Structure 1
Amino acid sequence: AVEHRAAVNHMQWMQQALPLNKYDTVLHRTSITFDASIWELFAPLIAGARLLLTPPSTHRDPGALARLVVDGSVTVLQVVPSLLSSLLQQSTVKQWHALRRLCCGGEAFASHLWAQCRSHLKSTTVYNLYGPTETCIDASFHPCHDTDTSVTVPIGRPVANTQTYVLDTGLRLTPPGVAGELYIGGLGLARGYWGRPGLTAARFVACPFGARGERMYRSGDLVRWNPDAQLEFVGRVDDQVKVRGFRIEPGEIETVLTQHPAVTQAVVVAREDQPGDKRLIAYVVAGGEGCRSEVLRDYLRERLPEYMVPAAVMVLDGLPLTPNGKLDRTALPVPQFGSAGIGRVPRTPQEQLLCELFADVLGLPVVGAEDNFFDLGGHSLLATRLIARIRATLGVELELRALFELPTVVGVAGVLDQSGRARLAVVGQVRPERVPLSFAQRRLWFLHQLEGPSPTYNIPLALRLSGPLNREALQAALADVVARHESLRTIFPQHEGVPYQQVLDPESARPALHLTETTSTDLSPALRAAARYEFELDSDIPLRAELMVLAPDEQVLLILVHHIAGDGWSLGPLSRDLATAYAARCQGQHPGWAPLPVHYVDYTLWQHQLLGDQADPESLFATQLAYWTQALAGLPDQLTLPTDRPRPPVASYRGDYLTVDIDAGLHQRLRELARRAGASLFMVLQAALAVLLSKLGAGDDIPIGSPIAGRTDQALEELIGFFVNTLVL
């Protein structure tokens, strides 16, 4: 809901800052459903200039549009960068002699595209305009200069009667050069979103820098002030993606790609074409020789950390655009992995079976015998999954290191004969009257008895739900998930002082959906308070659900799982199963998922069977215990480190983490060091941490705990349960 005065303010500013005259011809090509069409229509009418309407057939045809600029003697043109890149490739651009002003906006304006403008449009003044619809067309502008050499052209300074603030997460002003979220205030602000009070409250917030009652719009854009007091666009707050635990800005990868001489355009997205398997995919438009997928991936490997190299690079004739000329991400094609028939076919039954396992894990139709697992989109988590599949199918224990050293079907087949036989698979078990706790559960239960109920071991999962919500369907879906996973309906009573697992029947373990009404301002404190719920392990099921209601169409679902029933990996199956069940319940159906091959109780009994009795000196339990008792003998309970304050007598568990960025050059040198030492990058960094701790006075023998997934069997991959273990290094 944009007020008329906002549009009037914008028109007045444009005529002052970018004046038109009666000799100008403005091309109107933007759809009237898009806010930029307002100035294309009214600015020339206000100034008495000529308005040229674009024929419908010309809107999305760069060649026809470029010709229209020539034939219509257009002097003022507005386009988005995606379309501008295509227009500059047309031969008729050389005839744009009448064009005196080019306005670019709607997307980030890359510096390489500005360089092309300087080359092709020497007599044209180019402006970079920025502004979301919520602030009425444009909030800032920047006349482009030859000195604009940053990754993207600056978005400049605010337009008339507009204020811009760069704030951190605490709504504090950031210093120059430090990125923060852009907030916008002034006459251009819309009243809000029609019929969506919850979203309005979340995006239009009180302005702490203005008069009482003034508001500002939360743009979701990351920006910073440069040394010239110009705003620079950094990226989107919600564009940051997390892939395999790494937080990644796709724009950084796009920038490196567009620096390749054979690439004219690039976009990088995180796709999850298979549930739980998120991968980076790059799409590029070729501008010369050498624009091939494998060449570009090698190019990226030399300049970026491995986790930022896309699993696939797809070369397109052009990027798909919306009717407004913006990038249409929904129309980007599904990536094609594999060698497209290049490479030899499997020659033995074993190679054929391995090819099928490779393809199944990677989600590909076919894999060649000499295709590299990691070049096809594989990574460490998928490698662990592949080894579990090989163990289950061939009964052979393949070391993870062997797959990294020989990442092809041919290589794996060559070492299988030297690999040891696999241990027993996890299968359904005959259950005793009282099922013991797994060894991981036993440790956590002991801590619970020692310290009492505590939120320390709660695992929170918060999901923002926008739009209409069927609460009855959500309640039923939660019950479906608890019924599917026995670990979520297991309590831990005692018999003669010994705890055991008691799996409740689904009907008596139906979880309640607790409702809490709150506001966007109070949401974070409310979530933190709710996440500190204290489970009683002998009577509470280890799952709790609370729905934070901000508005009828805006809610946040908080799910708490006690660590005794799940781990970080478990949040994946939990989210997927809840989404499946909710979709089915909204249709009045039961979720049609396949039954789980095993349950956590089966894993517990298998674990006890594998490790044996501690009293048996020949058991794996006894031998492992003897080894670790000797290996850890003499180590201190605590590392002696210089701390800034005394340690409390009782741990509060109020910790924090610090993120340290490693530049691409240092990362590359670390990888080279790892290769020379025959080690992984993790080993090198772990050694560096040990050296640092030693220099700080922690001694020479430093134990470092590292969590491992513990899901060594294919049957455990989709199970919610406590499998993670801490390995002492």
Structure 2
Amino acid sequence: PRVEILPPGTGLPVLEHDLRERPDAAAALVALCAEEACMPFDLARGPLIRGRLIRLSEQEHVFLLTQHHIVSDGWSVGVLVRELGSLYRAFVAGQANPLPVPAIQYPDYAAWQRQWLSGERLQRQAQYWREALSGAPSMLALPTDRPRPARQSFAGATVPVEIDAELTRELRRLGREHGTTLFMTVLAGWAAVLSRLSGQDDLVIGVPSANRGRREIEELIGFFVNTLALRVDLSGGPDVATLLERTRRTALGAQEHQDLPFEQVVEIVQPPRALDHTPLFQVMLAWQDNALGRLDLPGLGVEEVMDNAPGQVRFDLELNVGECDGRIVGTLGYATALFEESTVRRQRDYLLALLRAMAADAGQPVERIDILPAAERRYLLEELNRTEAAYPSERCIHELFEAQVRRAPEAVALVHENE
């Protein structure tokens, strides 16, 4: 153990910008947001959190708070929002810091994890992932609009996803009947769509896990999240009920062995490595169940501003959804180096159609579910197969032959001799 005395002034650096007199204030705000999102962190010296306060008028400000993912995760943002509100209310009222001193800190968790995940526990977790991912395909062969670049590009964009309240209720009912959560049911549907698109009945989907199984760490800010590689089996033409059961077993088994860091899983499985794709899986499903809450600051009206950060994705496709006000909403992110927006919108619609069919009949074979809208089916089966063409007339053939004779009389004469 050691103690490091930080220099005076170390803490949260905040830059201030005054745009009150700027005629181009709106454009300047967008530029500042983009600049903040793209500015790298110095991992050696820190700090790994920073803020910007942008004054638009006497009554309107924008506050940007940026953290490196190495010190924070999605759950941490919810903790941060709650604590920021508590501190603001106390300080406005002239009170002292109301937050209790944490019983443990992140270094305590890191030390405990290293000690706990060792010996027999480590071997048991490693063996599970070794068996679960043995022989798994290294790539999901999705049809793309453009060839995969030699080096993976992280430029991305998103399309909105919304499963209405009625279908959400039906999916919850389907889950109750078959022992699956909403997450498991959507995962089964997403896997079925990916299987249709790729032609593979064995595929791996990445799923983030909050990895906060101990009450002591629920209120800590830090990077706890882990990534689980879920292998979904669609072989043998399963019906909806069978696919849900397989998905349930896969998800529960992965959650029981979620303590082994993903980096160690990759080292154990030793998948083929390449610069053009991520190892083990290239598609992710993230279920967002960590409510961020709203900032409640006395005397201020606070609302989330539009995210002006440049689009980025870590995988070919990223389905980020969660339940909100009785609906399942979110986004489907995609690598713009591979897909057009129209293609991803069709993929989203396939998912909605398949989930709707799953809820309607759990006994039907998944591979027979019709996910194509009528217009697209007509285009694929009829328009693309219109191969009829008018034959050239006898006069056209005669004119073509005469032209060939004028260009190559010797070759034509040779043809006549052969005849």
When the two structures are superposed, what TM-score results if normalisation uses the length of structure 1? 0.29
Larger radius of gyration: 1
When the two structures are superposed, what TM-score results if normalisation uses the length of structure 2? 0.49
Bigger relative contact order (CA 8 A; separation at least 6): 2
Q: Which has the higher helix share?
A: 2
